[in-house]
Chain A
Amino acid sequence: MSMEPPVGLTAMPVTKLAMITTLVVPLVASIASYKHIFLLQYDPFLQTYHQYYRLLIFQFCAINESDTVILALIWYLFRHLERLLGSHKYLTLIVLSWAYTTLGIWGLNLIWNAFIGQYKWLQWNNFSTGSLPIVLSLVHFYKEYTPQIYEWNIRLLGPRGGASSHNDNKREDKSAVEWKINDQFLLNGLILLLILNQGFAGILCGFISWMCGIFIDKGLLPGLDHWRIPFVSYFISQGPPTRANVAIAANAATNTAAARATVEAATAATGNGNTGNSGPTSLPLRGSSTTPTNTSNAGDDEPGADEPARPLGVQFLDTFRR
């Protein structure tokens, strides 16, 4: 059983839009040498020049290429969120968190600089670049509504305690570092990288945005419950049609069921009913390894076909062999 959401962006228009924006805007900006307009800093731009449009656009383009790549990857991982919320709600959530994080970061920045940042060295000057605030507020939603599927442990033993310290456990415990890693470690790592990559500004803006995400979820920052972006539902529902009519979409077979069925058939054939009585035990799904097998070509649909369908190559080979 695959543990990942389905690959690709079919039926996920909002994720597609976000990824394209994340990748194309920096590219175009760097080709046109206009990357500097996405840089947001308090000191010259806001304080001196009053270029407030920078607040509106700074989340659309990451200055650093590594940030761009990391953001694109995170947006791709967030396709599960789009599947979970539905495209329209997801787009609304993105827009809301864009607005709230921008307002929140700017407001806090103003407050800080008005009271504490009088001195030059205490001033909060740098902001994060790219859609880090939006992503961080979406992280809350992802973590809140995505359960963990599996986890494993990694154990790092210090090299000094090689062969000699296997005997006494205390030294080993002291030098061993154990990491518990779950199935979301890729996302966690990317988020961590994204934040650390932007330094102190990343940590600060990330934390504020995360709080914004929590507030949006809890309803403290209003909008998600009752408001939707108008006029876009047509574009969003352009995805694939509901597959009620295309219903014969045979997709998944599970190995466990198949194996059990074969065991049953075998026992039925040999007339030995002793081994078959372990059938309906409910295995915990967490441990079972079922893998989907993509199936269903036309030949498979014939009822009562005992022989499995042979691929064309095998048929040719068989013909020449005989």
Chain B
Amino acid sequence: MDIFRHTFGNNDDSFIRIPGAFREEPPADLNGRTEDQNSNTNEPTQSRDGRLKSILHFLFQAPLIVLYYLLNFIVRSSRLLKPLLRLHGFYQRKHNRLLDHSSQLHRLLENLENEAQAVTCSEGNGNNDDGSNTDSTSNNESSGVQFSFGSLYNPENRTFSKSIMQNSYTELLDACSEQVKFGVIYLHDPLLDNHMDYVNKILCSEAFVNMIRKYQVLLWYGDVTTSEGLQVSNALKIRQYPLLGIISLKAEKKIELIARVEGSISNYKAQDLEAIFSKNYSRLIQLRQQRQNIEMQRLIRQQQDSRYQDSLRRDQQRESERLEQTQREQMEREHQRIENQWLLWRKSQLKPEPSSDKDASKVAIRLENGQRLVRKFDTSLPTEEIYAFVELQLHDMLNSENDTLPVYQPANYQHQYSFKLITPVPRRELDLSTKISDVSGIYPSGNIVMERLDE
């Protein structure tokens, strides 16, 4: 750009507009003004500059335009590669057919089952035909009892339960780290010459099955022609198929491939796997115990916490009860005090017994405890007077002499009598507000029975 600047002078507007560049607003008036300035100062050089500029414009513009259209053409013509995409789809269709992990696994197991059956059948035929197939027979003898693949791994009626067979590699990793168990990975390669070797000689052998049962191993089988299997094999850096790998938790957080059998089966011995399992089992148990300890500590702490919370709650409850109790007592005391005050006041208000029989009714009151009181009352008073008298009698305040100091009626206090007075014949309760003279049962004289109200 500096070269351009120098050749075109120091004007800012001197750049060549590249077709397709970002649109800017080059101020046209600036262009004109600078030219005007230049033309004002020295005209002949300006005309020469202008010619040079146009020539350079022409020289540089053409290749850039060509370059632009060339690039554009290349990008556009990439659309012509659409048929190649279809070619790509030709291969992709097969791989996209099964994306679900579990269905992939089922398909693999089915295929293996069928092929294993075919292989064993042909082997059996070979043995029947000539009987000289010593290699396979010796193999069978050396590996002990052979299971058929279907009986072990068939999804419907297999020996291994569902929990042992994992659906995907990540599931296997999760389960291994969670349950602290060994995991066995088998990567099947259907394209190899002797691809059923591992299946027939390792996976179906009694030693292998016993090992799986003994060490509670989790299994995952994958196919390297599926995406998942390929990823796993790349991640584990497998150089030869098929692979039989054992993964195990190492330390607290890491899962590692602790052993692998890959490639040709000729070097495999059943004792190797057994040795690896037994060697690493102690560490696995240790890890398991660590985890149990942590879990135990967590439980203990939880229990302690809950116990502490319990006792705390109990204490709070007790505290609140105590508070309530004292409050209630205080209120009772207050009530008592006010009642007492009221009684004293009432006593001071109690009218004296009329001396004459005129305008007086003579009432005999039988208290609850059998005591019998006889007193005259002024007939013009309400029956409340009788109530008050009885109340005072009940509180034993009639004969006490402590009424020397003046007592005021307590404010905001409405006394409730805890009993009622009844005329026996006819049985009628005495109303508080009626006058004594209006009650026929006790005027001029009568009997009254006191009955306590049950609260």
Contacting A at CB under 8 A, from B72-114, are 72, 75-76, 78-79, 84-85, 88, 91-92, 94-95, 101
**A11 contact from B91, B191, B240, Cβ within 8 A:** B240
- Given A83-B238, A264-B177, 9 more A-B residue pairs with CB atoms under 8 Å apart are A147-B230, A247-B261, A253-B254, A262-B252, A268-B295, A269-B298, A271-B298, A283-B170, A292-B237
Counting CB contacts under 8 A, is B135 at the interface? no
Binary interface profile of B, 251-294, with partner A (CB < 8 Å = 1, else 0)?
Answer: 11111111111111111110010001000001100100001001
A11-B254 contact in complex given A159-B21, A159-B22, A249-B260, C-beta closer than 8 Å: no
Counting CB contacts under 8 A, is A318 at the interface? no
CB closest residue in chain A, given B22: A162
Q: Are B256 and A261 in contact (CB under 8 A)?
A: no
Main secondary structure of the interface of A (DSSP, over half): loop
Complex alpha-carbon distance, A305 and B286, angstroms:
12
Q: Are B255 and A257 in contact (CB under 8 A)?
A: yes
Q: Are B193 and A280 in contact (CB under 8 A)?
A: no
Counting CB contacts under 8 A, is B121 at the interface? no
A261-B170 contact in complex given A86-B193, A149-B227, C-beta closer than 8 Å: no
Q: Are B227 and A257 in contact (CB under 8 A)?
A: no
Complex alpha-carbon distance, A296 and B85, angstroms:
44
**A89 contact from B171, B193, B235, B256, Cβ within 8 A:** B193
Which 9 pairs of residues, A with B, have the shortest CB-CB distance? Answer: A247-B259, A242-B267, A1-B235, A147-B227, A6-B237, A257-B173, A253-B254, A147-B95, A143-B91
Give the A interface residue count (CB, 8 A).
Answer: 78
Q: Are A251 and B237 in contact (CB under 8 A)?
A: yes
27 residue pairs of the A-B complex, CB under 8 angstroms, read A1-B231, A4-B234, A11-B239, A84-B225, A143-B91, A146-B225, A177-B75, A188-B88, A242-B261, A247-B261, A250-B250, A251-B257, A254-B255, A256-B170, A261-B177, A261-B249, A261-B254, A265-B294, A268-B291, A268-B294, A279-B178, A280-B178, A282-B174, A285-B232, A292-B235, A292-B237, A295-B256
A280-B174 contact in complex given A84-B191, A250-B250, C-beta closer than 8 Å: yes
Inside 8 A of A253's CB, which chain B residues have their CB?
250, 254-256
Contacting A at CB under 8 A, from B166-206, are 167-171, 173-178, 189, 191-193
Contacting B at CB under 8 A, from A226-251, are 228, 237, 239-245, 247-251
Counting CB contacts under 8 A, is B377 at the interface? no
Interface magnitude class on chain B = 35 or more
Binary interface profile of A, 55-84, with partner B (CB < 8 Å = 1, else 0)?
Answer: 000000000000000000000000000011
Q: Are A6 and B239 in contact (CB under 8 A)?
A: yes
Complex alpha-carbon distance, A288 and B235, angstroms:
12
Counting CB contacts under 8 A, is B153 at the interface? no
Inside 8 A of B232's CB, which chain A residues have their CB?
285
Q: Are A285 and B170 in contact (CB under 8 A)?
A: yes
A256-B173 contact in complex given A88-B193, A146-B230, A159-B22, C-beta closer than 8 Å: yes
Complex alpha-carbon distance, A188 and B92, angstroms:
14
**B228 contact from A143, A159, A240, A285, Cβ within 8 A:** A285
Inside 8 A of A256's CB, which chain B residues have their CB?
170, 173
Inside 8 A of A177's CB, which chain B residues have their CB?
75-76, 78-79
Counting CB contacts under 8 A, is B63 at the interface? no
Closest chain-B Cβ to A115's Cβ sits at a distance in Å of 27
CB closest residue in chain B, given A262: B253
Q: Are A247 and B272 in contact (CB under 8 A)?
A: yes
Q: Are B234 and A3 in contact (CB under 8 A)?
A: yes
Counting CB contacts under 8 A, is A145 at the interface? yes
